Chain A
Amino acid sequence: MGLKEFIEKSFKKSPWVLHYNCSSCNGCDIEILACMTPLYDMERFGMVNVGNPKHADILVVTGTVNTKNKEVLKNIYDQMPDPKVVVAVGVCAATGGVFREAYNVLGGIDKVIPVDVYVPGCPAKPEAIIDGLYKAAEILKEKYEKMGKAEEVLK
């Protein structure tokens, strides 16, 4: 296996996940953490939770966007290298949920960054989160292949 194939394979098979709590109620966050623990064990899909945006392929966001953290969310998204996939976990991340009418809430995170996968639930169950992340990994694969084609065209 050449170096290029090796990088391609490990990229598709082992996406790294970054989690950001964007004014959520902690419900979805502790379910995402529960996904990493022995009962649900997200790591069997090669997914590891990392703390650095520059190492991450998938951004998992919980909670709604408010006026202060929209800059932070944008910043984290911009720091991630391409190709990247965004997963919105919970109804708050999708639409604003129960907080939609509160004065400091702008709505779902798709007002700030593009979202690829929405995981429903209040809070989303670990099974649903793992399903969403698995879908995200497939989208990541597609994006990676498209990027490769674009590079070939540019040559």
Chain B
Amino acid sequence: MIRMSEKSTIPFGPQHPVLPEPIHLKLIIEDEKVVEAYPAFGFVHRGLEMLVKKKDFNQMVYVVDHICGICSAMHGQAYCQAVEELIGIDVPERAKYLRVIWAELHRIHSHLLWFGLLADAFGFENLFMLSWRIREKIMDILEATAGNRVIISVNVVGGVRRDIDSEQARWLLDELKEVEKSIKELDKIMRNNYTIKQRTVGIGVLTKEEAYMLGTVGPVLRGSGVPIDMRTTGYAAYKDLDFEPIVEKDGDTYARTIVRVREMFQSIDLVRQAISKIPEGELNVKIKPNLPAGEAISRVEQPRGEVFYYIKSNGGKYLDRLRIRTPTFANLASLLHMLPGSTLADVPVLVLTIDPCISCTER
């Protein structure tokens, strides 16, 4: 007979149905409670930062786009901004606005994707299907404006590769109107549904101090009541657009869900503002084939939080060093803080509450 309250070890992953990515957690369980959790990494490590030695700085844009397929446009944007700062060139205004439009479209599709996965994690499959159906509209917009559904790779050093003309912009706004209507329905479901509240309210609570001390970023931090959003630093065209960081006080999974749903509305609003204010002009500027020596950083708000790029060059075509600090890396400490004390059934919800992107983290 098995004695109760004896510690046993349960492996979570690397191949697990709740997440398409290989995350591995070693969970030490006592009865149904998680006592300790140890993560294991390296299943997605490819060594992309070292590729700067083999690909020149223009080719690297395509490589950093492949760090993560979900927020690829923002990775390209962050890298290009860092290189542009190193060279010391100013990007045309139209390119800045186009970068904002594509980045915000990515934010909407990423949050819808996450919302579906969260619903799937607590067994609400209808909602998963519903939110992924809404997401397909955004994918259509991306395919029509940038030529590919997922990795659009529109950024180049010095600007963007493609343009959105006025006819396309009008169509885009029409599509967004429908997307907004659907997300409003999703919002209504989320605020009134008993199942969602049972599985998210009070799960994985992080107080304001804890969230700040653990160094969390993005919706996890804002869900705990800290108004930090990298877009307020005013990179690209955000300095000309009108928005406030979205903040909720409770700090549980439900609050984070609300933050993300409200951010979708904010992103729709930002796309509309950007399209109404976009100036005419060039798409990109010509750059010299060689880089000057020096170093530069860039910080961009991704759907999951702040991404930090550091580059160093000794002159020549190739960068000397590329260092990326991704949002999931910053948020993993909070996951390991939330797991002990939770029940085993809540582990998938807790893993998803930080919106993990393992291929970003391990590169």
Contacts from A to B (Cβ < 8 Å):
19-34, 37-39, 49-51, 53, 63-64, 66, 68-69, 72, 76, 98-99, 101-105, 122-123, 125
Chain B residues closer than 8 Å to A63, beta-carbon distance:
44
Given contacts A27-B151, A68-B42, A125-B149, contact A102 B51 (CB under 8 A): yes
Which A residues touch B22, using CB under 8 A? 20-23, 69, 72
Residues of A within 8 A of B44 (CB): 21, 23-24, 63, 66, 69
Q: Which of B17, B50, B359, B362 contacts A103 (CB 8 A)?
A: B50
> Per a CB cutoff under 8 Å, which of A25, A49, A51, A72 touches B69?
A25
Contact of A123 among B55, B129, B149 (CB under 8 A): B149
B113 in contact with A122 (CB, 8 Å): no
Q: Once bound together, how far apart are the Cα atoms of A30 and B54, in whole Å?
A: 29
CA–CA, A34 and B149, complex, Å: 11
Does B215 sit within 8 A of A, measured CB to CB? no
Q: Which residue of A lies closest to B18 (CB)?
A: A51
Nearest chain A CB to B59 CB, angstrom units: 9
Instruction: Judge if B150 is at the interface, Cβ distance under 8 Å.
Output: yes
- Given the complex, which residues of B lie within 8 Å of A22, measured CB to CB? 22
A37 with B136: CB separation less than 8 A: yes
A123 to B43 Cα, complex, angstroms: 20
Q: Do A102 and B129 touch across chains, with their CB atoms under 8 A apart?
A: no
- Residue with the highest number of chain B CB atoms closer than 10 Å, among A99, A102, A123: A102
Docked-complex contact B132 and A33, CB < 8 angstroms: yes
B167 to chain A, nearest CB (A): 25
A69: which B residues are within 8 A, CB to CB? Answer: 14, 22, 43-44
A50 to B150: give the CA distance in the assembly, Å: 24
Q: B residues within 8 Å of A by Cβ?
A: 14-17, 20-22, 42-48, 50-51, 54-55, 62-63, 66-70, 72, 113, 128-129, 132-133, 135-136, 139, 149-151, 357, 359, 362
**Contacts known (A39-B133, A101-B54); A76 close to B15, Cβ less than 8 A:** yes
- CB–CB A102/B15 < 8 A: no
A23, B43: Cα distance in complex, Å? 6
User: Which B residue's beta carbon lies closest to that of A92?
Assistant: B66
Lowest 5 A-B CB distances belong to which pairs?
A27-B69, A51-B17, A37-B132, A26-B69, A29-B20
> Chain A residues with Cβ under 8 A from B43's Cβ?
23, 66, 68-69, 72
In the complex, what residue of chain B is closest to A28 when comparing beta carbons? Answer: B69
Which residues of chain A come closer than 8 Å to B136, judged between CB atoms?
Answer: 34, 37, 39
Measured CA separation A69–B136 after assembly (Å): 31
For the complex formed, measure the closest distance between the CB of A121 and the CB atoms of chain B, giving whole angstroms: 9
Tell me whether B15 and A20 are in contact (CB under 8 A).
Answer: yes
Say how far B311's CB is from chain A's closest CB, in angstroms: 18
Do A26 and B46 have beta carbons less than 8 Å apart?
no
Q: List 23 A-B contacts (CB under 8 A).
A: A25-B68, A25-B69, A25-B151, A25-B359, A26-B70, A26-B357, A29-B69, A32-B20, A37-B133, A38-B132, A50-B17, A51-B15, A51-B16, A66-B46, A69-B44, A98-B62, A98-B66, A102-B47, A102-B48, A103-B47, A103-B50, A104-B45, A122-B151
